[in-house]
Structures are given as structure tokens and as C-alpha cells.
Amino acid sequence: MKSAWSESRAAVSHDTAESFLDGLVEYRPGLFDDVEAGFLLRRLRATLHWRQPRVRLFGREVDSPRLAAWYGDAGAVYTYSGLRNEPLPWTATLDAIRNSVERATGATFNSVLANLYRDGGDSMGWHSDDEPELLPEAPIASVSLGCPRRFRLQHKRHRHLRLEIPLAPGSLLVMRAPMQQSWRHAVPRERGVEGERVNLTFRRVA
Ligand SMILES: O=C(O)CCC(=O)C(=O)O
Ligand SMILES: [Mn+2]
């Protein structure tokens, strides 16, 4: 329901030449209540095929600071850091979460990247989800479970435009087009966070 959303308009620029580039980020706490969120966290933690992604950094291959798993429709292939990721077939739990997310957003998704942050030492560096196989007009919908973490957004050209949203367990964050063209986002390391967090980012691959 529209009124359930607390919307943060990412565009705070009054420069009309820029404002159409800015996109919209929507945050909805409580897509899942505490009991559901706890259940889903334990289930996904135990049943997804978590792997250690590797990235190329300054010519060397290193471990990413988190674990990940890629699920989706057959053919929803996703390449990042030169690695081709064939999706695993939807599990019943992921498919049920996808249904809730599709109802809440009015969009459809054919794949999901699952991220596991083992503690506050795990993180996601600054990036945009703008790989060529992701449909640029499709939103990206992100479900958070487990330990709350800070989600940061920064405008690419107007770098003083920043937003920080604490992502609560059971919440849904939606980045609407053309957010990925004009903003980047990150989940920084957080000292003192000891618990795990699972994040699901639902995507539409061409
Ligand atoms: O963990 C998060 O909230 C963000 C994940 C993310 O940005 C991604 O998977 O592309
Ligand atoms: Mn992302």
C-alpha cells in the first residue's frame, strides 16, 4: 500500500537538468514481521548454496568480504568481475519471498543475488548495479534479514548528496530507475556488529 512507504526522495537537487537523472529510493520496514524475519534468516542461512566470491583487485584475485549465492530463472546469467554466474533454480523459500516483493513493488523479478554478511567485518564496496544484462528501467528490490546494517547512497556527480538508511530486519528497500545511473551505494564495515545479516537483491536480467 502506497501509504505504508516512508519515501526518501533521493533527488534533492533543484537543478532541473539533473533532477530527472536522480531516481527514487523507497524504504519499507516490516515487509516481514520479527517472527517471519527470524525464520527466513535461519532458513536461508542453512539452505542456500553460499560461496566465496572472488574479485580482481589491482591485478590480483582476492576474496570478497562476504559470501554470496545467485538464484533465478534458467538463462538469467549474470557476469561480474569477469565471472559468469549461472543461476541456481529458485528454492521454495526464495520464491515465496519473491512473491511478497513483487506484490509490494508491482514489479517482476527473474533473479536474486543473496549476500551473507558474517559480521560487521563483512561489507559491500561502493558500486552501482548497472551491469549491461540488468534491465536499466527495472527497479532493484532489496530484502534485509538479521543484524541491521547501514546502507549508504551517494550521487555520482554531486558527491555531497548522500543518504544513509539503517536497514532493519524484515525491511524492503527499492531503488527505482534511473537510480543506478546517477547514484552509487555501499554497505560499510561496522565495528561492534557481531551478528549475521542476509540480504536478497531481486533483479531483472535481460
Ligand atoms: O546488502 C545490501 O543491502 C546491498 C547489496 C547490494 O548492493 C548488491 O547486492 O548489489
Ligand atoms: Mn548493489
**Side-chain-side CA neighbours of residue 144 (13 Å):** 23
Q: Quick check: 7 pLDDT over 50?
A: no
Cα–Cα distances in Å, from 131 out to 29, 40, 80, 127? 28, 28, 8, 10
CATH assignment, 2-10+22-203: 2.60.120.590
The residue behind cell 500500500 is: 1
Residues with C-beta atoms within 5 A of ion ligand 2? 129
64 lines ligand 1 (CB under 6 A): no
The residue behind cell 556488529 is: 193
pLDDT interval class at 138 (50, 70, 90): very high
What is the whole-number distance in angstroms between the Cα of residue 8 and the centre of ligand 1?
18
Grid cell, residue 167, equals 536497514
The gap between the terminal CA atoms of the chain, to the nearest Å, is: 28
Alpha-carbon torsion, ordered 160, 166, 172, 176, to 10 deg: 0
Mean pLDDT of 161-190: 93
Q: Which helix (H) or strand (E) holds 36?
A: helix 34-47
The residue behind cell 515465496 is: 96
- For the chain, give the mean pLDDT: 88
pLDDT digits (tens, 9 = 90+) for 102-111: 999 999 999 9
Top mutation candidate among 199, 202, 203 for ligand 1, by most atoms within 8 Å of CB: 199
| Range with lowest mean pLDDT among 5-9, 58-62, 148-152 | 5-9
pLDDT at 22: 78
- For the ranges 60-64, 146-150, 163-167, the maximum mean pLDDT occurs at 146-150
Q: What's 169's DSSP letter?
A: T
Q: How far is CA 145 from the centre of its chain?
A: 12
Residue 181 CA to residue 19 CA, distance in Å, equals 12
What is the whole-number distance in angstroms between the Cα of residue 128 and the centre of ligand 2?
6
Residue 131 CA to residue 4 CA, distance in Å, equals 31
Contact 45, 116 (CB under 8 A): yes
Q: Which residue has the higher pLDDT, 36 or 84?
A: 36
Closest by CA position to 112, among listed 49, 52, 169, 55: 49
pLDDT at 82: 67
Q: Which residue has the higher pLDDT, 139 or 15?
A: 139
Q: Which residue has the higher pLDDT, 18 or 44?
A: 44
pLDDT at 35: 98
